[in-house]
């Protein structure tokens, strides 16, 4: 089973 | 004072077309060096980053850094009123709440001035880490668009697998499955650089949205590394780029 990843898990706020 | 003149509205139309499906509103960050934009879609699955250097413009002036909050759908409506070969000047005074757009016909006998209300957008900027991508593929932009369109009729998910042999796009759904493989060509329109093979799964509808940028460039560059977002990059002539990042699907 796969779920959509979230970009905020990869890129952090500046 | 910010003022920028482009000799052809067609380029601006193509850029806005490439952004407006993912972003309804966004902030243009203008500085002395050029115009930048960075924004995520509402669901935080994809991110668009656009950069246009000041030398793209016939005339460019930006006295101090300025953020212009734009409704891209409204901007599209204004651009529809202009002809592709019109020259366009965009202008905004410091602390103004409007953006002025002036279109001048190629024969210079017609000018049309529009004012677009600016928005106060609270936009968050993300730090995109420097990534050493294990796989980098260049291919014709129209080929990528065709593959994304064809695969999305089969399944919501698209698997992209990149090896030294080439890049393979797969989709598997209720009606059946599809595999499309591109190998490096001798004429050089497809090139594949692979340090280590990578296979990742993505939402096809986002890939399809990225292909709205196809009219901007003959080529597209696709970069992948294990367990990081996909990068799809379209150059904007020699003056900049539109980069799309897409979070992969993750195993539960």
Q: How confident is the model at residue B186 (pLDDT cuts 50, 70, 90)?
A: confident
What distances in angstroms separate CA B54 from CA B8, B137, B222, B238, one per listed residue? 15, 28, 26, 11
Q: What pLDDT score was predicted for residue B8?
A: 94
- Whether B102 contacts chain A with CB within 8 A: no
Mean pLDDT of B9-32: 96
The ipTM is: 0.95
Which residues are CB-neighbours of B187 under 8 A, at least 6 positions away?
none
Contact B44 A7 (CB under 8 A): yes
Give me the residue label for tokens 């793209």: B56
In degrees, rounded to 5, the angle at the alpha carbon of residue B137 between the alpha carbons of residues B222 and B12 is 45
Nearest Cα to B128, choosing from A3, A4, A6, A8?
A8
Closest-CA residue of chain A to B230? A7
What are the φ and ψ backbone dihedral angles of B24, each rounded to 5 degrees? Answer: -90, -30
Grouping H, G, I as helix, E, B as strand and the rest as coil, residue B101 is: strand
Say if residue A1's pLDDT is above 80: no
Q: What pLDDT score was predicted for residue B124?
A: 84
Size of interface A-B (CB pairs under 8 A): 57
Token pair of B198, please?
């990578």
Q: What pLDDT score was predicted for residue B6?
A: 97
Give, for B68, the enclosing helix (H) or strand (E).
strand B66-71
- Whether B127 contacts chain A with CB within 8 A: yes
Min distance B172 CA to chain A CA atoms (Å): 14
What number of residues does chain A have? Answer: 14
Q: What is the mean pLDDT of chain B?
A: 96
- Helix and strand numbers (H, E) in chain B are 4, 20
Give, for B19, the enclosing helix (H) or strand (E).
helix B9-20
Distance of CA B50 to the CA centre of its chain: 6
- Whether B251 contacts chain A with CB within 8 A: yes
């Amino acid at each position: 089973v796969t779920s959509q990843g979230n970009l905020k898990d990869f890129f952090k706020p500046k | 004072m910010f003022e920028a003149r482009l000799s052809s509205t067609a380029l601006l139309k193509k850029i806005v077309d490439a952004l407006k499906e993912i972003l309804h509103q966004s902030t243009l960050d203008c500085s002395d060096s050029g115009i930048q934009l960075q924004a995520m879609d509402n669901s935080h699955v994809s991110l668009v980053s656009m950069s246009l250097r000041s030398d793209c413009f016939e005339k460019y002036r930006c006295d101090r850094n300025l953020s212009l909050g734009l409704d891209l759908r409204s901007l599209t409506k204004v651009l529809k009123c202009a002809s592709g070969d019109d020259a366009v000047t965009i202008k905004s005074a410091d602390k103004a709440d409007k953006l002025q757009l002036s279109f001048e016909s190629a024969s210079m006998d017609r000018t049309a001035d529009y004012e677009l209300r600016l928005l106060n957008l609270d936009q968050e900027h993300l730090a995109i880490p420097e990534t050493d991508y294990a796989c980098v593929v260049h291919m014709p932009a129209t080929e990528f668009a065709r593959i994304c369109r064809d695969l999305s009729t089969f399944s919501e998910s698209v698997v992209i697998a990149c090896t030294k042999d080439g890049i393979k796009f797969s989709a598997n759904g209720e009606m059946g499955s599809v595999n499309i493989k591109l190998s490096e060509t001798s004429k050089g329109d497809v090139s594949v650089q692979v340090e280590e093979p990578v296979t990742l799964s993505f939402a096809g509808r986002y890939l399809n949205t990225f292909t709205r940028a196809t009219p901007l460039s003959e080529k597209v560059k696709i970069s992948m590394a294990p367990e990081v977002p996909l990068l799809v990059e379209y150059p904007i002539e020699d003056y900049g780029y539109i980069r799309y990042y897409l979070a992969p699907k993750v195993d539960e």
